A and B are shown apart, each in its own frame.
Chain A
Amino acid sequence: DTAVSQTPKYLVTQMGNDKSIKCEQNLGHDTMYWYKQDSKKFLKIMFSYNNKELIINETVPNRFSPKSPDKAHLNLHINSLELGDSAVYFCASSQGIEGVQGAFGYTFGSGTRLTVV
């Protein structure tokens, strides 16, 4: 009954490989996000997506691409993995409806620890 679920929880892969992380939310939220958390715990926004708009953090390499088959899913695909991509990746969702009190906090997934070797 998890609100935001992402898989896999752990991912170990070699440099140069292509991998995907899946995210699903059952909260009926309008907007989903991907965040990267580095070893210093800094949460860096990568993408924000709803059914109308994709916002990309311009500092994110184009090897990263979000794919949303429907409103409840936002997957992250990474091409040509590099050592520096090692981090914990969090999916999140929020209601994002104007004027709704308390509707803007995030619900995070449990995270995917990516290790590139």
Chain B
Amino acid sequence: GENVEQHPSTLSVQEGDSAVIKCTYSDSASNYFPWYKQELGKRPQLIIDIRSNVGEKKDQRIAVTLNKTAKHFSLHITETQPEDSAVYFCAASLSGGSYIPTFGRGTSLIVHP
């Protein structure tokens, strides 16, 4: 089955700095890679996703990159703000069917004002 490794487990940055969270996956057939943000005491929410036919996707201050050859993908947050503080989860799955995404173990991002 799929195995997703996520690093680092904790990331502490100063407001305004950039933050990068990295994930690797094992199943080369995986073709859909979502990222979720979970604020303290709240539900995980989808913030951005990327499919295997795209190498990079941006949405304002967040971007995701995918390297299919190396089987890794990363979340980039620029100009971090205190409200970016949360746990971020990556996941990998096959589009369609009943294939269930495998989640990484999460990265706790702390943005210091």
Contacts and interface: CB of A to CB of B under 8 A. Distances in A.
A110 B89 CA distance: 16
Interface residues of B, number: 24
Name the prevailing secondary structure of the B interface residues: strand
A55 to B, nearest CB: 6
Interface stretch (A19-27, A73-81, A99-107): A99-107
B87 A106 contact: no
A106 B34 contact: yes
A31 interface: yes
A51 B5 CA distance: 32
A62 B111 CA distance: 42
B36 A106 contact: yes
A42 B91 CA distance: 12
A60 to B, nearest CB: 13
A43 interface: yes
Interface residues of A, number: 26
A86 interface: no
Interface of B: 32, 34, 36, 38, 42-46, 49, 51, 87, 89, 93, 95-98, 100-101, 103, 105-106, 108
Contacts of B36: 106
Nearest to B45: A108
A53 B96 CA distance: 13
Q: Which 7 A-B pairs have the closest CB atoms?
A: A98-B96, A105-B46, A108-B43, A43-B103, A41-B106, A105-B34, A108-B44
